[in-house]
Amino acid sequence: DQQVKQNSPSLSVQEGRISILNCDYTNSMFDYFLWYKKYPAEGPTFLISISSIKDKNEDGRFTVFLNKSAKHLSLHIVPSQPGDSAVYFCAASRGGATNKLIFGTGTLLAVQP
Amino acid sequence: DADVTQTPRNRITKTGKRIMLECSQTKGHDRMYWYRQDPGLGLRLIYYSFDVKDINKGEISDGYSVSRQAQAKFSLSLESAIPNQTALYFCATSDEIRNEQYFGPGTRLTVT
């Protein structure tokens, strides 16, 4: 049972445009969400996170939106750059002291020059 | 120098062999994790450890064991490797306050 779902395996965007990556979850107990970015032959690196008490968090070109009623979060990258081409994983946790993360299956973003 | 290192980076082994993957970190974190990544399945948690005396099974622990030798070292063992354990394996660390985990570069394991 996949508790965190990324239904788009891949996404292609033109440089300078907005990239929107989506993630859905089924467990209403999740209260902390994260996005990771992964380049080939490297481990995932933390990008941005959001607590369930918020509906938006912004860090430079990256913004994460959380819609708790829809159990949906999205990552917006504006403007997209070729260096953003990578696999993006969303992850969720129940917070507290556990730090166990449940990851989605990933979305491969290709930013075309 | 990398904060989280994994050895080996690549390994090919035969069915039935015992193999150990090692992870070391210099971040001073108490918490360490082992994940495997398979195409179309994302990252799945194998084992995690919140301190040297604490070891917990993750969602896919069957066929694996771990050892937390020190705060900085966490090893994953496959006692008798099988082909469906062919995957990319990642070690990660975190502290007690922030949920962000820091990942090593991964070990690509092939079991023939």
pLDDT in tens, B61-90: 999 999 999 999 999 999 999 999 999 999
Residue A98's pLDDT is: 60
Q: In angstroms, what separates the C-alpha of B2 from chain A's closest C-alpha?
A: 11
Yes or no, beta carbons of A41 and B106 under 8 Å apart: yes
Summarize pLDDT for A4-19 with one digit per residue, the tens: 999 999 999 999 999 9
pLDDT above 90: residue B5? yes
Asked whether the beta carbons of A25 and A3 are under 8 A apart, the reply is yes
Q: pLDDT grade, residue B1 (50/70/90)?
A: low
d(CA B47, CA A43): 17
Total Cβ atoms within 10 A of residue A111: 21
Query: What are the DSSP calls for B18-56, one per residue?
Result: -EEEEEEE-S--SEEEEEEEETTTEEEEEEEEEETTEEE
d(CA B3, CA B106): 13
Q: pLDDT grade, residue A65 (50/70/90)?
A: very high
pLDDT above 90: residue A24? yes
Chain B positions in Cβ-Cβ contact with residue A106 (cut-off 8 Å):
42
Instruction: Name the average pLDDT for chain A.
Output: 93
- CA of B39: which chain A residue's CA is closest? A105
Yes or no, beta carbons of B48 and A105 under 8 Å apart: no
Instruction: Name the average pLDDT for chain B.
Output: 94
| Residue (of A69, A27, A31) closest to A50 by Cα position | A31
d(CA B98, CA A101): 12
Residue A39's pLDDT is: 95
Partner residue opposite B99 with nearest CB, options A45, A49, A106? A49
3-state DSSP assignment of residue B85: helix
- CA of A37: which chain B residue's CA is closest? B103
d(CA B103, CA B2): 10
| Residue (of B104, B42, B26, B43) closest to A42 by Cα position | B104
Summarize pLDDT for B89-105 with one digit per residue, the tens: 999 999 877 778 999 99
Tokens, residue A30:
């999740």
Summarize pLDDT for A27-47 with one digit per residue, the tens: 999 999 999 999 998 999 999
pLDDT above 70: residue B48? yes
- CB neighbour list of residue A46: distance below 8 Å, 6 or more residues apart: A34, A35, A36, B100, B101, B102
Total Cβ atoms within 10 A of residue A22: 17
Residue A108's pLDDT is: 96
Torsion over CA: B17, B107, A10, A29 (sign): positive
Q: pLDDT grade, residue B39 (50/70/90)?
A: confident
